Structure 1
Amino acid sequence: MANPRVLHLEDSPTGRRRFINVTPEQETHTGIEAYREVLQQYYGQIEPRGTPTDLYVRRVAQRVIQATGMKGDWEVHVIRSPEKNAFVLPGGKIFVFSGILPVAANESGLATILSHEVAHQYARHSAEKLSQASLLQVLYIIASFFVDPNILQLGQAMSSLLLELPNSRQCEQEADQLGLYFMAAACYDPKEAVGLWQRMRAAEASSPPQFLNTHPSTASRIDSIQKWIPEAETRREAAKCPNPDTTRAFFEHQHRRSWLE
């Protein structure tokens, strides 16, 4: 029987078998390059450190990150833009567009979004996508030599399609599940995640948020989240969370001394 390590096969945090041939170091290097590019692209639009919006977003992110137990050089930035979007780069670089904050509506809604992004990092979804892309690219290059030179261009388009649709949706569903558990462990009420996605669904009617691109349908997402809530509530109880007012006051004090400042 073949050794899974030789085949670069491993299980995701939810038990899904996947192919990864990218090392954490390679993933981090890719993230650093992408991070520089994003900072350059949105130069002048990054919310300055210390503003109420910046402190608010980073404080919620800190709660979620602490709940995962992950270490690392985390960075959280708010981009002043009407786009309803948020994303994470390899290495824990989180960007939140200000346009999504009204949809988040409150701290629990924002925690849902940030937990989802942190879950992508936790599950190494970037490494998974990079691995799939590298494998498909090699296959299409070989095919272009021995079958048809034009297949390379078609293959690149198909690679993008495969990565952005079915494979990405698996990762998104996994990030929803893990994110729900993380926000619960951070002492947020997991039931509040349903409200966030209901607001997302309402936003779809006029201007679909970029955050929903290649994601599962919002209706199916809500159904899945409701099924995961009992487990999430168990994790919240295990975290021995105090009442909401006490929790909020504690983290408002902690953010002043946080490494995120």
Structure 2
Amino acid sequence: MKIVSFLIYSLLLFLLHCQTSPTGRRQLILVKDPEMNQLGAEAFSEMKKKTPIEKSDSINKYVNCIVSAELAVSEDTTGVTDWEVVVFKDNTPNAFALPGGKIGVHTGILPVTKTADQLAAVLGHEIGHVIARHGNERISQNQVAQGGMEALTKIGKGEMAGILGGGAKFGILLPFSRAHESEADLIGLEIMAKAGFDPKESISLWENMSAMSSGKPNELLSTHPSDETRMKNLNQKMPDALQLREEANRNGKLPNCKL
């Protein structure tokens, strides 16, 4: 009976709070954008206190050059007024995004992204997470999984950062996490192409990532799609992306970001 009640409750929440993502996917959104943006800002502030920040002028200019070009062609409806990009001194090849336009880039991603176009694929992906409200959707799913709206008030800042940028290991949240990653890939592909970057380099990026990885869990038990799945999905959208890039280049969008 409890399971039936939970399912009915979840269905009602979905019907009452259903929205559509930039790719047309249906989403459960329970938290207002200003609240999410504040949560993201607080979590990011905590991260900046605990993780060393890269001060290199050339690295920061390089990363921000790419982000600026991509933000110029991105459409955000979450109320972000001032995007913030921070390069963290961390050797892991990673980047992440939080609501409120907060993007973190680890220095460890720079050797993996051999070109500015490849880094543009990473950063476009992170921008995609923000404008698609993936953090909001993850928290909304977490609320449902915990049985109600009051769950949000029980989450601390540290745990909040994990929910915003990480996720549950198994169960109801798992498929959504893969959906978020796949959707951010496609949104990022479109953004980088509209900004004038070469969308084919998104494939090269995942070839690089695949070459350096070993012992990855099976996709079914992973919160991320496999590298092969990501490349397949990107290739399916590549003809449209190449057209967008050609149009961008004709209109003078020729990014020249160098490290």
Q: Does 1:232 align with 2:238?
A: no
1:46 aligns with 53
Q: Does 1:181 align with 2:190?
A: yes
TM-score by length of 2: 0.78
Aligned residue type for 1:109: Q
Between stretches 188-197 and 62-71, larger displacement belongs to: 62-71
Aligned mates of 1:192, 1:163 — CA distance in 2 = 33
1:108 aligns with 117
Could you tell me how far 1:36 is from its partner in structure 2? Answer: 1.2
The answer for unaligned runs of 5 or more in structure 2 is: 1-10, 152-166
Aligned mates of 1:179, 1:80 — CA distance in 2 = 24
Could you tell me how far 1:38 is from its partner in structure 2? Answer: 0.7
Aligned mates of 1:160, 1:237 — CA distance in 2 = 41
Aligned residue type for 2:84: E
- Runs of 4+ in structure 1 deviating by more than 6 angstroms, as ranges, are 2-6
Q: Does 1:77 align with 2:86?
A: yes
Aligned mates of 2:86, 2:247 — CA distance in 1 = 31
Aligned mates of 1:242, 1:141 — CA distance in 2 = 50
Aligned residue type for 1:176: D
Q: Do the aligned residues in 2 keep the contact of 1:137 with 1:159 (CA within 8 Å)?
A: no
Could you tell me how far 1:138 is from its partner in structure 2? Answer: 2.1
Q: Does 1:32 align with 2:38?
A: no
Q: Do the aligned residues in 1 keep the contact of 2:197 with 2:255 (CA within 8 Å)?
A: no
The answer for unaligned runs of 5 or more in structure 1 is: 143-157, 253-261
1:58 aligns with 64
Residue deviations 1:152-177 (CA, integer Å, cap 9, x gap): xxxxxx95534663111001100011
Change (3 A) 1:216 1:203: same
Change (3 A) 1:170 1:8: same
Change (3 A) 1:16 1:177: same
Superposed counterparts of 1:105-144, under 5 Å: 105-138=114-147
Q: Do the aligned residues in 1 keep the contact of 2:91 with 2:106 (CA within 8 Å)?
A: yes
Change (3 A) 1:133 1:4: closer
Change (3 A) 1:54 1:163: farther
TM-score by length of 1: 0.78
| Identical aligned residues as a percent | 37
Q: Secondary structure at the match of 1:103?
A: coil
Q: Does 1:197 align with 2:206?
A: yes
